[in-house]
Amino acid sequence: MRKTVAICSVVLLLSVFRTFGADADYKLVRIETLTTAVRVRLPLTDVTGKVRVKEKSPAGFGLPVAPSKTVLGAKHYLEWQIGYDVPGTNSPTVVPEIKFTRNGETKYGHELSKIIFEAVRLRLLSTNEILRAMEALKKIPANEFEENQMVQVEVATNAAADGFQSAVQRLPQFTKTTPHGSVQIQLKQKQRAVGYQAMVYVCIPMPEVLTMTGSPRPPGRAHSKETVFYDFNRDNAAFLLDIIHAFGMASAQHNEDIQKILGKILEAATKS
């Protein structure tokens, strides 16, 4: 009897674990290499995660929308806080060949690193283009890193209503727009420290977003746990060079990391 209860408990626990495990899988960014493209899978409804749906605004400051309550179409885009490194090798998008150190800590390439690694393998990007991108990163002057840009605070001279003083903070944002999407550097207040940090976002217009079959996603509300796809191919491979450059401009640390990553990608490409 006891044995049966124990077995039943284990089976129940396993099924709960499987349900929740499978449940959260849609939130993971996945990268798949096809014959002529690197296909990225992104979650459409993980509103608190690294991929958010926003509505375009003329100045480029997008407004977040509720994806399941909004007909997602030409006005909307995905804002992806793309990553490029992880501390261990258990991420689904890790590249073990890209191993480097930052301030004495070992890091492995993932997401952007994997996309570039695969794009070079598929010859969507040449080793020469990677070399030129590295040279360009080396030439960015230290005082031009966006992280060092001034954040201005304007305090209104007249006190606002009921004794409240009004003040406005101006946070710089830099956007490079390409026909396939844009890349943004946004200055944000550091979460666990004093000062500002430069965050890099890849912005993908909804009309460029694909379904699982590789056809454009028709306009419509997001369904629960929907995932969508974006292909890096011969036509938009230069977008990757813009993303690389944005990281190179963001801060001295990002510039150094990306140079190390590109160095490893070149090493691997010339070995094979």
Compute the least distance from the CB of residue 235 to ligand ADE, in Å. Answer: 24
Q: Is 200 an interacting residue with respect to ligand ADE (CB under 6 A)?
A: yes
Q: Which position among 199, 210, 266, 269 is part of the footprint of ligand ADE (CB under 6 A)?
A: 199
Instruction: Compute and round to an integer the Cα radius of gyration of the chain.
Output: 22
Compute the least distance from the CB of residue 82 to ligand ADE, in Å. Answer: 5
Q: Which is nearer to ligand ADE, 133 or 217 (CB)?
A: 133
Q: Is 83 an interacting residue with respect to ligand ADE (CB under 6 A)?
A: yes
Q: Is 49 an interacting residue with respect to ligand ADE (CB under 6 A)?
A: no
What is the per-residue DSSP string for 100-114? EEETTEEEEEETHHH
Q: Which is nearer to ligand ADE, 81 or 127 (CB)?
A: 81
Compute the least distance from the CB of residue 114 to ligand ADE, in Å. Answer: 13
Q: At what angle do helices 237-250 and 252-271 cross, to 10 degrees?
A: 140
Q: How far apart are CA 14 and CA 21, in angstroms?
A: 10
Q: Is 232 an interacting residue with respect to ligand ADE (CB under 6 A)?
A: no
171 close to 188: Cβ distance less than 8 angstroms: yes
Q: How far apart are CA 151 and CA 164, in angstroms?
A: 22
Residue nearest to ligand ADE (CB): 200
Sort strands 85-86 and 76-80 into parallel, antiparallel or unpaired. Answer: unpaired
Stretch that binds ligand ADE, among 30-38, 76-84, 113-121, 166-174 (CB under 6 A): 76-84
Q: Which position among 82, 137, 206, 222 is part of the footprint of ligand ADE (CB under 6 A)?
A: 82
Q: Which residue has the tokens 């800590």?
A: 105
Q: Which is nearer to ligand ADE, 170 or 188 (CB)?
A: 188
- H helices of 156-236, in order, are none
Q: Which is nearer to ligand ADE, 70 or 253 (CB)?
A: 253
Q: Please provide residue 102's backbone torsions phi and psi, each rounded to the nearest 5 degrees.
A: -125, 120
User: Which secondary-structure segment (H or E) carries 43?
Assistant: strand 38-43
Q: Which is nearer to ligand ADE, 36 or 148 (CB)?
A: 148
Total residues contacting ligand ADE by CB under 6 A comes to 6
- Closest-CA residue to 126 (of 248, 270, 259): 270
Q: Which position among 77, 84, 100, 196 is part of the footprint of ligand ADE (CB under 6 A)?
A: 84
Which of the 8 DSSP states describes residue 47? T
Contact footprint for ligand ADE (CB under 6 A): 81-84, 199-200
